[in-house]
């Protein structure tokens, strides 16, 4: 789906014009609840078309109380957003290699993968395009996920800063997870070779999204380690500016999980962050990832 009539993300009318579903944006920046769709049944084309539009406009969409939502349903729904993509460093469900496990046990004191705003797996040549999550067992409180809108983050930069950002190339790696500098095991993580963690991958700092044709920032403090062609000090200062800008409250929102919630986020145009504020509680979700597409820069 491509919206050719929009010049900026703020041109979208995020809740009007839907006939087959109800779309409820939860704030002025990111995420909307969708009502009127049963994901355990085949979706008529007209319903799917509106879901796809809501996803493009809100970056994060979620459906409450999806009773009976099976792993087969999960895979089928995720595939509507693109080809499935395996994530080698996350454990998967036995018999379901495309369904990854997101679990934290009450007595687990290890670091949580996903704390801090980031895009998933930007150390890969083709970072995931979307992630679909199904909440199966969640705490009574805590464990929300926060999101940030990377269209807005780009569009609110001054014109000279936008031009500057469009020239930048970010150098990404997974050293914080399983490279030579990693010093702690993290929840969800498989053992990986150190050289895989230290392998560097380049992505443009400003990309053009294939779904909307709009520009968005693409960097994060977890995996984007430096800028191509810049000194370490220059890279650090520039990246700190962009990452601080992205985390501005005006661009963010958070979603509270409940059992049976199914949520999809755009991994290119949205940041997300786990919030590990549920000590002594059990939390179990399953995720399916889509991807296999290279990012496109402005130049």
Residue spans of the domains in the chain: they are 15-290
> Given this model, what pLDDT does residue 108 score?
78
What whole-number distance in Å separates Cα of residue 13 and Cα of residue 27?
13
Distance CA 137, CA 197 (A): 31
Instruction: Read off the pLDDT of each residue in 45-70 and give the average, rounded to a whole number.
Output: 98
State the average pLDDT over residues 155-179: 92
Residue 185 has a pLDDT of 52
Average pLDDT of every residue of the chain: 92
What are the tens digits of pLDDT across the range 121-159? 999 999 999 999 999 999 999 999 999 999 999 999 999
Going by the DSSP 8-state scheme, the letter that residue 5 receives in this structure is: T
**Percent of the chain with pLDDT strictly greater than 90:** 80
What is 15-290's CATH number? 3.60.130.10
Residue 190 DSSP label: P
Residue 3 has pLDDT above 70, yes or no: no
Q: What is the pTM of this model?
A: 0.93
Instruction: Tell me what pLDDT residue 115 has.
Output: 73
pLDDT reading at 256 higher than 60: yes
Q: What is the model's pLDDT at position 107?
A: 86
Give me the mean pLDDT over the 221-245 stretch: 98
The two tokens of residue 186 are: 């993290």
């Amino acid at each position: 789906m491509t919206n050719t009539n929009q010049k900026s993300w703020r041109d979208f009318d995020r809740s009007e014009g839907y006939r087959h579903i109800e779309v409820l944006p939860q704030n002025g920046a990111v995420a909307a609840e969708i009502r009127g769709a049963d994901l355990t049944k085949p979706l008529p084309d007209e319903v799917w078309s509106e879901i796809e539009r809501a996803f493009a406009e809100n970056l994060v969409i979620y459906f409450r109380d999806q009773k009976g939502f099976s792993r087969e349903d999960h895979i089928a729904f995720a595939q509507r957003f693109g080809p499935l993509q395996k994530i080698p460093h996350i454990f998967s469900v036995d018999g379901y290699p495309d369904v990854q496990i997101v679990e934290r046990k009450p007595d687990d004191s290890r670091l949580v993968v996903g704390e801090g705003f980031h895009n998933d797996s930007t150390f890969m040549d083709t970072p995931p395009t979307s992630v679909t999550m199904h909440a199966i067992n969640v705490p009574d409180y805590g464990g929300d996920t926060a999101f940030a809108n990377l269209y807005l983050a780009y569009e609110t930069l001054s014109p000279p800063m936008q031009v500057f950002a469009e020239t930048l190339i970010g150098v990404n790696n997974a050293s914080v997870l399983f490279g030579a500098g990693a010093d702690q095991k993290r929840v969800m993580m498989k053992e990986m070779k150190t050289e895989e963690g230290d392998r560097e991958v380049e992505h443009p700092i400003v990309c053009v999204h294939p779904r909307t044709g709009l520009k968005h920032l693409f960097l994060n403090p977890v995996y984007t380690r430096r800028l191509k062609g810049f000194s370490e000090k220059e890279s650090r200062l520039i990246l700190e500016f962009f990452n601080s800008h992205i985390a501005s409250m005006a661009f963010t929102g958070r979603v509270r999980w409940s059992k049976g919630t199914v949520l999809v986020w755009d991994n290119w145009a949205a940041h997300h962050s786990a919030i590990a504020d549920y000590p002594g509680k059990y939390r179990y979700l399953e995720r399916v990832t889509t991807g296999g597409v290279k990012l496109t820069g402005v130049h």
